[in-house]
Structure 1
Amino acid sequence: MDDLDLIDRKIVATLMADATLPVAQIADKVGLSQTPCWKRIQKLEAAGVLTGRVALADPGRLGFDLTVFVGIEAPDHSEEWREIFGRAVASLPQIMEVYRMAGEMDYLLRVSVQDMAAFDALYKQLTNAVAIKNVTSHFAMERMKFTTAYPVDTRTR
């Protein structure tokens, strides 16, 4: 992030807030004309700073009323197990995020499902696909804050 100048950071922050804005509005917000702004957006995409543009949806309105954070303890840390685990979690679209962790658990998953029966089915699919030493599930009762926008510094330094 250190190699991004103030205008790049403002472009990124603007797109994270609303990726549907036309280039003309983004350019106006960051103090550029359209063409240089568009070129910077393309450069940010090519550099992997911007990795995609998506629409965010309310999970409850789509029937995904249960969010579960699942801690996984691996039976071993071999490359073979990691590959099998990686394929298993990639094949299950209900698993929204996967993090390899340091500490008590080896992996943390964020899962979105319709209900407890759907979570039980997912649990069975996952544990049938890969050996797991221990699974700990934490059920979210309420989503109090959610954002996909990182707190990019858009102030001059």
Structure 2
Amino acid sequence: MVLDAVDRRILALLQEDATVPIAEIAERVGLSQTPCWKRIKRLEREGVIARRVTVLNRERLGLGVTVIVAIKTAHHTAEWLETFAEGVAQFPEVVEFYRMSGEIDYLLKVVARDIADFDRIYRKLTKVAPLHDVSSSFAMQEIKSTTALPLFD
């Protein structure tokens, strides 16, 4: 899909705050409301806008620990991955989950209340499917975190 400059400005505004009224978005991108609304609907229909969400403050919710979990497995079958992926999907604390290239097979980003809470999650996670090696790294400081994607010309 080809995005023009107006599409990119609309997307940038929505990434910053999805609650901005159509009238304000239209004014800021130089359109009237109906054409602006139609562009947003087209971007949704074509899957450029996947969904609109509210970003919560982890600290305010008592989820002050972020852990990056690197997993190696000796199993590389589709059945093992299906079992593991379905099991991991049951953990609301796992907020990101990737299949990797290189030495690490899977990478998870986990949020927890504290280290004891993470230990509870870790113990349950290691029972989902056979794992070869699990290595956890605790984030000391969040320096950058965003949901906004770059929008290039």
1:53-101, Cα deviation, whole Å (9 max, x unpaired): 1111111110001000001112211000110011011000000001111
Give TM-score, length-normalised by structure 2: 0.96
1:59 pairs with 2:58: yes
* Alpha-carbon offset, residue 106 of structure 1: 0.9
Query: Could you say which residue in structure 2 is the equivalent of 1:133?
Result: 132
Please give the root-mean-square deviation of Cα atoms over the aligned residues, in Å. 1.1
Q: Which amino acid aligns with 1:11?
A: I
C-alpha distance in 1, partners of 2:21/2:74? 50
Aligned residues: 153
Give ranges in structure 1 of 5+ residues lacking alignment.
none
Q: Percent identity?
A: 49
Cα distance in 2 between the residues matched to 1:73 and 1:48: 33
> What residue number does 1:151 align with?
150
The residue correspondences of 1:70-109 to structure 2 (distance < 5 A) are 70-109=69-108
**Counterparts of 1:40 and 1:92, CA distance in 2:** 36
- Aligned partner of 2:8 in structure 1 is 9
The two structures have a TM-score, normalised by structure 1, of: 0.93
Amino acid aligned to 2:69? V
Task: Work out the CA distance in 2 between the residues paired with 1:37 and 1:55.
Answer: 22
CA–CA separation in structure 2 for the residues paired with 1:111 and 1:125: 13
Flag structure 2 segments of 5+ consecutive residues without an equivalent. none
